[in-house]
Structure 1
Amino acid sequence: MKRTQLALATHGNLSLHKIASNSKDVVREFCPDDLSKELKSLELTDDNLPLQRSLGLYWNMNSDMFTFKISCEEKPLTRRGVLSVINSIYDPLGFASPVIIKGKLLLRQLSSGGTECDVPLGDLEGQKWQLWKESLSGLQDVSIPRQYVPCSLQGNVRNELHIFCDASEKAIAAVAYLRVICEGERHYVGFVIGKTKVAPTHGHTIPRLELCSALLAVEIYQLAKENLDIELQSVKFYSDSRVVLGYITNQTRRFLTYVSNRIEQILRHSTPEQWNYIRTELNPADIGTRGLTADKLQSSVWIRGPTEFLERQSIESDNASNPNTYQPEVNAYLSDVTSMHNSESESRSIACRFQQFSEWSRLVHAFGRLKTRARQQKMKRTEDSLVTFKESENFIISLVQHDVYGEEIHCIRTNKPLPKGSPLQALGPILDEEGILCVGGRLNKLRLDEYEKNPAIIPGSHHIATLLVRHHHQLLKHQGRHLTEGAVRSAGLWITGGKRLVSSVIHHCISCKKLRGKHGIQKMADLPADRLDQVPPFTNVGVDIFGPWQIITRKTRGGSASSKRWGVLFTCLVTRAVHIEIVDSLSSSAFINALRRVTSIRGKVKIFRSDRGTNFIRATDDFRIDTINVEDDTLKTFLYDSETKWILNPPHSSHFGGAWERMIGLVRNILTPCLWNQATKI
C-alpha cells in the first residue's frame, strides 16, 4: 500500500489518503494526515478502534464485522416518508434484503391505492408501517464478518460458488455463497451477495417469475465473477422449480418470445449441467421472497448459508460413479418423465400425430411427400414413384380406421360377426379392394361409382373427421349445415355422428360468425328523472324544429311569391302531449316569440331539453335562462337567477332527443299527406 501511495503521488500527482485498517501496525506506517478522520487523533495504544463508515456501511474494526446504523429521524406518515425510510437503508451486498423487501412490498401496497404522496396513511396501513419501522432497530444487532471465510482464499484445495434462486407472487430473490475447502478437509461457507426484487402485480405466472429469478441468479454470478479475484473450480445454480429446469435443459422445443429471450441470456453465461434442483424448504433464497424480521436475520440461513445442504451435495457428488449424474431429486424426476415419454411413444400410433395438422390438404400433401420419398428409396428410381392425392387420402383413412376400428376389421377379414356393442352394427360394414372400411347396403347393382354406393367410414371422434368437414365447408364458401353435410356425403365419406360434427364445426367457424353472427343489442339506460316526475303537463318540455314547407305569401305580376315555414314542436316529457307553433324563419327572435306563446298558453316551464341549435343557444342568452351543457364536468353557475333550466344535448347526439324526435316523425307523417296537394293554396 505504501508503494501504491508513492507511485500515485510520483506518476499521477494523486494523494492516497483517508486510510483505515484494523491492524495497528499498518496504521503506524502512515502519517496522521493520510489516515481517516476517525484515526487521525487516535492513540494507537488504546485497544478500542473507532467505528469506520464507508458508503453507508459501518465497519467495526475491533471485531472486523459489518454492522448497520438505523436513523432515528422521524419521517411523516405518508408515502413520501415511507419511501424516504426505505431508501435510507444502504445495503449494496444484500445482507438485509429479506428485511427491506417487506418494506418495499408495503410501499407497493400503498401505491396501488392511487393516493397522493403527501396524504397521511390510513389507520391500518399506518399501523403496519410503524411495526415494520420499529423492527428495523434489530438490524443494529446484526454483525456480518468482513471476510467471506476464516481462512485465506489463496492456495485452497477447492473454491466453489453456489447461487440459489426462488420466486413467489410477491417477490423474486437470488443469493450467492462461497464454499471453500481448505487443507485438512476443512469446509467453510460464506455469504457473497444477495438480491431481492418486488414481483410485478399482474401479467406474470409463477413459472415466469421463477424464470426471472433464474436470470437474476445469472446476473449475480456475473457480478461475483468480475469482483472475486480467485479461481473458481465449480459454479452451481439451484432452483426449486422443475419447470425452469425443464426450460433450461430443453434442446428441441421452441418457446414463446418472453421465455426464449430469458433462456438465451441464462445459457449465455451458464450451462444446463450447472443447474440443479433443491427442495423449497432447503432453499435459502425462499427467505428473500417471503421476508424476514430484523431480529431473526443474524441466525437465518440467508446469512449463515446452507452449510449442511452443500456438504451433503458434495458427498453425493464424490460418491457418484457418473460425473454427469443429476441431483437425486432431479434425476428421479427426469427418469420418470423419460420413462413416461418412452412408454407413450411406443403405444401411440402414427395416426395420433394427425393432431398436429389444422388443414386436410396439408395433411394429405405431407403424407404424399413422405410416401413418395419412401417409395423412391425402396425402388431406387424416381419414375412411377409419385403418390397421387387420392392415394394419400386412402392411406390416411386406412390408418385411422385400423387405429379406431381394428377389432371390426379383423372380424370382417376372418368372417366373424362384429363384436356386440360395436357402433358399426347398423352400417353393415365391408372392406373394399384397397382394404378401406366402407358402408354396406343393397345398392351394389346400381350404376354408380363405388364411393357413392359404399362411402368410407370415418370415426366422428377422430381429428381427421373435423379436418374433412372443415375442408368441404371451406370449398363450399362457408355454406350452411345441409350443404356442408351433402358435400361430405358426395365425396364418398360417411362420418359417424356427422350432423352433430358439422354443426359443431360451423358453430366454431370464425368466418361464419362474421357472416351470420347475431348483432349485439344495446341495453338501454334508465330514463331521465325529468321524464318520470309527477308534475303538471308541460312542466318538463322537449323542444325541436322541423320542416320546412313552401307556402304562397303574395301574388305578383310575374307570378306567386313563395316562402318557407317551419314548425316548432313542444312535447311534454312526462305525458308526451304535443304543442306546435309556426315560425317564418330560423332566427332566435322568431323562436323566442313562439316560446312566449307556449308559456302564455301552457304555463311556466321548469326544464327545457333540446339539441345544440344556434337559435336555441341564442334564445337562452336573450331570455336570461340558466343553461346546462351536459358535456361539462361541473355545472356552470350563471349570472342569471331564474327558476328555468335549459339542458342542451351533446353535439352530434341526436339519440339523446329520442322523446321529441319520435314525435316529430309522427307529426311529419300526418302533415305531409295533408299538405301534399295544398301547396298552391296555402
Structure 2
Amino acid sequence: MYRQILVARVLWRESPSDPLRVLQLNTVTYGTASAPFRASRCLMKLAEDEAAETPSAARVLQEDFYMDDALSGADTIDDAVDIQQQLQKLRSKEECREKQMSIPEYGANEAIKLLGLLWDPRNDIFFITNPFRQQATNDNVTKRSIFSEISKLFDPIGIIAPVIVTAKLLVQQLWKAKLEWDESVNIECLHQWKELKTELPLLTHINVPRCVTFDNVVSFSLHGFADASSVAYGAYIYLRNEFADGSAKLRLLSSKSKVAPLHELSIPRKELCAALLLTRLLQRVIPALQMEMREIVLWSGSTIVLAWMRKPLDQLQQFVRNRIAEIRKFTAECQWNYIRSQSNPADIVTRGQLPEALSQNYLWWNGPKFLEGPDYPVDEIAHVPDQLLPELTVVVATSTLNIEPLSFLHKHNNFRKLQRIMSYIIRFVDNCRQKNPLDRRKSNHHTVIELRRSTDAIFKILQHIHLSDEIQRVLSNQPCKRIGNLRPVYNEGLLRVGGRLDHSTLPFASKHQIILPDKDPITKAFIRTMHDELPCRPNRTYQCHSAAILANPQLYSLLPNKSDRYYTAYGEPAKITCSSVPTICSNWCRICRSILDKGRSTTSEIN
C-alpha cells in the first residue's frame, strides 16, 4: 500500500552550507513513523473529496478498510457491482496509483482469504485455515518454537476465543518459567503443548455462517455476556433475531478474552474487569452493526459486580470506582442481569477449550437456550449486604456540631440560676417523651440528678462552642493542639482530662476532670459560685482553693479532697488573673493569693 501513495516530500542538502532542496518521493517510505498515517490519511482525504460523485465507495473507504484490504458487502449483486465500479474509479484518481482492483466474476466458488479467515461464497460461511507445519517428533520443543506456532493463530473477531485462551495460558506459563528462547520447555508445558498442537488442525472443521440475520425478522436485540475465572476473563456478544411468533435465534457476533495478570487479583475484581471488557467490546460492535436494536441486555455471573453498579461511586475504592464509572457511562441505557455460570457462554472463554470440544459446543455457537423463547426468564439479582461486599471505602462519620450559643446562657451571672433554667429545659424534653401523663414530672423542686444533668448539658454546650476542633481530634485519635498536655479523653459527650490516674483507685470524676474554656463568662460565673459556696474556714481551707487550682496538670496532685467531683478550666498561662474572679475570698488567704497570682485555669467540686 505504501508504494502506491504519491504524497511524500523531503527537504535535503549534502552539507550545512548547501542550499535546501525539495525532493518528492514517488512512494511513502517504509519504516518511517508517519507512513501508516500518511497512507490512511490519503484514503480518508480521497473519500471526503469524492463522496458526492462516488458515495458508496467513499463509505467503504471510511468504514470497511483494514490496512490495505477492503472488506465490505451489499444486500444485492447489483449493489455489490456498483460498489466495485466506484472503488475502481476512486483508485484511478491521481492521489493513488494502485493497480486496478479485480473482483471475481459473479458466483465464484473459490474460497477467499479474509483477515485470517476463509470465506466460502457458495455456502456463505467462514472457516479457519491450518497454518501450522507438521513438526518432526525429534525436534526440540523450545519457547521460541512454541511462540512461533501460537503467533500464527489470528482471530480478530473472537470466533475461536476459547482456543486462543488455551494458547495464551500456555504462553503465560512459559514466561513464568523464565526460560531462555532456545531452552527446552519443562515436562508440564511440553505435555500441554503437544495436546494443543495435536488438535490445532481440527480448527478447519469449524465453520461459522457469515450472515447473522434471518428472513422475516421483526426486531433485533443485542445480548452480551461477561464472566471470569481464576486464570482468565472474557466477554461475548450475540445478535438476537426475534420473529413474529415470539421465537428467536441467536448468532455469534464477537468475543474478547484476556488472561489474568500474574499479580494476584481477587475473583470479584476479575469479574469487574470482564464487565468492563464487555462494555468496551460493545462500544465497537454497535457502530459496526449500524442496526436499530430493540434492547441491549448485558449479563454478568457476579452478584458482587452487580451490587457495585448500584452503589454510589464515593463508597467504592479506587480500583472499583474507576471501572464502575466507565461501565455506567457507556451502558447507561443497557440492562444488566444476573446469569448462572452453566448458562453463561462467556464461562467457556474463561476456562479455555480445545478445538474438537469447541466445534461441538452448542452453547458457544448458539447462545443460551432460554433466550430462544418469547419471554426469557431473568433471575432476580440477590441482595449483597454491605458487610459482605468487598472494596467499599471505610466511611468515618465525623459529625461537625455547630451549636449556636443559647440566648439565656449569657444573660445571667449566677451559675446556679443557669443550672436551674437548663434543668427545666431538660425536664420539659423528658416530659414530652413520656406518653403516659402520669409519668411526667411536675414538681417545682429540682433533684440532685437533674441539677447534675443540667450542669453536664451546659458544659457540653461550652465544649462544642469553644473546643469542637479538639473533640474531633480526640475522636479521630489525632494529637490535640491546644490541650495536648492534658491528654484529653472523650467520655459520655464530655471532654475530660486523661493521664496516668486512670489506673488509680480514685473515683472516675476525680481521675478525669471535665475541661472547660477559660475565656467564656459561664466558666467565670461557675468559679465565682464555687468560691461563694465554699468560704475559707479553718476546716475547709483547701476546698476553697480547689476552685482556683492552676491549669498545669502537674498540680492536680495538690488537691487533697480527691473523692469529690472536679472540673478543670483550660486556659493559656496568665490568662485568668485576680480581677477575673472578684471577691473570691474576703480574707485573701495565702494559698488563694499564690494561686491566682500565677494566672492559671481552675477546677472545682459541685454537688
With the shorter chain as reference, the TM-score category is: 0.5 to 0.7
Say if 2:378 is the partner of 1:356: no
Q: CA deviation at 1:16?
A: 5.7
Say if 2:369 is the partner of 1:329: no
Cα deviation 1:201-249 (Å, max 9, x = unaligned)? 2142211111111111011111111211321121111101111112222
Task: State the match for 1:263 in structure 2.
Answer: 324
Q: Secondary structure at the match of 2:380?
A: helix
Say if 2:80 is the partner of 1:62: no
Say if 2:82 is the partner of 1:3: yes
What is the rounded CA distance, in whole Å, between the counterparts of 2:156 and 2:102 in structure 1?
21
Q: CA deviation at 1:108?
A: 0.7
The answer to whether the 8 A contact 2:339-2:379 is kept is no
After superposition, where does 1:602-621 map in structure 2 within 5 Å? none
Q: CA deviation at 1:164?
A: 0.2
Say if 2:228 is the partner of 1:167: yes
Letter in 2 for 1:144: V
Q: Secondary structure at the match of 1:180?
A: strand
Letter in 1 for 2:101: H
Say if 2:241 is the partner of 1:180: yes
Q: CA deviation at 1:274?
A: 1.4
Describe the shift of the 1:66–1:6 C-alpha distance in structure 2 as closer, same or farther (beyond 3 A): closer
Describe the shift of the 1:255–1:186 C-alpha distance in structure 2 as closer, same or farther (beyond 3 A): closer
Task: State the match for 2:512 in structure 1.
Answer: 490
- Give structure 2 stretches of 5+ with no counterpart: 1-79, 93-97, 389-393, 412-418, 431-438, 442-447, 460-470, 489-497, 516-607
Cα deviation 1:53-77 (Å, max 9, x = unaligned)? 2222122333322212222243851
Q: Secondary structure at the match of 1:121?
A: coil
Task: State the match for 1:98 in structure 2.
Answer: 162
Describe the shift of the 1:77–1:5 C-alpha distance in structure 2 as closer, same or farther (beyond 3 A): same
Cα deviation 1:285-332 (Å, max 9, x = unaligned)? 0110011121111222453233422245x5157xxxxxxxxx4421xx
The answer to whether the 8 A contact 1:79-1:118 is kept is yes
Q: CA deviation at 1:143?
A: 1.4
Letter in 2 for 1:303: W
Letter in 1 for 2:164: I
After superposition, where does 1:503-582 map in structure 2 within 5 Å? none
Q: Secondary structure at the match of 2:375?
A: helix
Q: CA deviation at 1:118?
A: 1.4
What is the rounded CA distance, in whole Å, between the counterparts of 1:437 and 1:199 in structure 2?
64
After superposition, where does 1:20-35 map in structure 2 within 5 Å? 20=104, 26-27=106-107
- Give structure 1 stretches of 5+ with no counterpart: 28-38, 40-48, 318-326, 342-353, 385-390, 403-411, 415-429, 439-449, 452-462, 494-682
Task: State the match for 1:527 in structure 2.
Answer: none
Letter in 2 for 1:158: S
Letter in 2 for 1:215: L
Larger gyration radius, structure 1 or structure 2? 1
Task: State the match for 1:17 in structure 2.
Answer: 101
Q: Secondary structure at the match of 2:305?
A: helix
The answer to whether the 8 A contact 2:297-2:335 is kept is yes
What is the rounded CA distance, in whole Å, between the counterparts of 2:246 and 2:270 in structure 1?
38
Aligned partner of 1:274 among 316, 335, 355: 335
Describe the shift of the 1:433–1:307 C-alpha distance in structure 2 as closer, same or farther (beyond 3 A): same
Say if 2:348 is the partner of 1:292: no
After superposition, where does 1:313-462 map in structure 2 within 5 Å? 315=375, 327-330=378-381, 333-334=382-383, 356-357=396-397, 363=399, 366-367=400-401, 369=402, 372=404, 431-433=449-451, 435=453
Task: State the match for 1:672 in structure 2.
Answer: none
Task: State the match for 1:220 in structure 2.
Answer: 281
Q: CA deviation at 1:196?
A: 0.9
Task: State the match for 2:594 in structure 1.
Answer: none
What is the rounded CA distance, in whole Å, between the counterparts of 1:469 and 1:256 in structure 2?
23
Task: State the match for 1:321 in structure 2.
Answer: none
Task: State the match for 1:134 in structure 2.
Answer: 198
Q: Secondary structure at the match of 1:295?
A: helix
Q: CA RMSD in A?
A: 4.5
Aligned partner of 2:485 among 476, 481, 486: 476
Q: CA deviation at 1:183?
A: 3.9
Task: State the match for 2:574 in structure 1.
Answer: none
Cα deviation 1:622-656 (Å, max 9, x = unaligned)? xxxxxxxxxxxxxxxxxxxxxxxxxxxxxxxxxxx
Describe the shift of the 1:258–1:301 C-alpha distance in structure 2 as closer, same or farther (beyond 3 A): farther
Task: State the match for 1:72 in structure 2.
Answer: 133
Q: CA deviation at 1:92?
A: 1.1
What is the rounded CA distance, in whole Å, between the counterparts of 2:110 and 2:333 in structure 1?
48
Task: State the match for 2:308 in structure 1.
Answer: 247
TM-score by length of 2: 0.53
Q: CA deviation at 1:188?
A: 1.4
What is the rounded CA distance, in whole Å, between the counterparts of 1:187 and 1:209 in structure 2?
31
The answer to whether the 8 A contact 2:487-2:499 is kept is no
Describe the shift of the 1:3–1:124 C-alpha distance in structure 2 as closer, same or farther (beyond 3 A): closer
Q: Secondary structure at the match of 1:53?
A: strand
Higher relative contact order (CA 8 A, sep 6+): 2
Q: CA deviation at 1:273?
A: 5.5
What is the rounded CA distance, in whole Å, between the counterparts of 1:465 and 1:56 in structure 2?
66
Q: CA deviation at 1:251?
A: 3.3
Letter in 1 for 2:233: I
What is the rounded CA distance, in whole Å, between the counterparts of 2:395 and 2:316 in structure 1?
19
Q: CA deviation at 1:184?
A: 4.4
Describe the shift of the 1:12–1:239 C-alpha distance in structure 2 as closer, same or farther (beyond 3 A): same
The answer to whether the 8 A contact 2:302-2:338 is kept is yes
Q: CA deviation at 1:137?
A: 2.4
Q: CA deviation at 1:6?
A: 2.9
The answer to whether the 8 A contact 1:167-1:213 is kept is yes
The answer to whether the 8 A contact 2:299-2:339 is kept is yes
Letter in 1 for 2:147: L
Describe the shift of the 1:492–1:472 C-alpha distance in structure 2 as closer, same or farther (beyond 3 A): farther
What is the rounded CA distance, in whole Å, between the counterparts of 2:453 and 2:486 in structure 1?
33
Letter in 2 for 1:482: R
Letter in 2 for 1:17: M
TM-score by length of 1: 0.47
Q: Secondary structure at the match of 1:193?
A: strand
Q: Secondary structure at the match of 1:329?
A: coil
The answer to whether the 8 A contact 2:348-2:364 is kept is no
Q: Secondary structure at the match of 2:272?
A: helix
Q: Secondary structure at the match of 2:154?
A: coil
Cα deviation 1:129-156 (Å, max 9, x = unaligned)? 111211212212111111114x14xx73
What is the rounded CA distance, in whole Å, between the counterparts of 2:476 and 2:143 in structure 1?
63
Q: Secondary structure at the match of 2:181?
A: coil
Q: CA deviation at 1:484?
A: 6.8
Q: Secondary structure at the match of 2:238?
A: strand
Letter in 1 for 2:82: R
Describe the shift of the 1:328–1:6 C-alpha distance in structure 2 as closer, same or farther (beyond 3 A): closer
The answer to whether the 8 A contact 1:95-1:303 is kept is no
The answer to whether the 8 A contact 1:248-1:272 is kept is no
Aligned partner of 2:290 among 217, 222, 229: 229
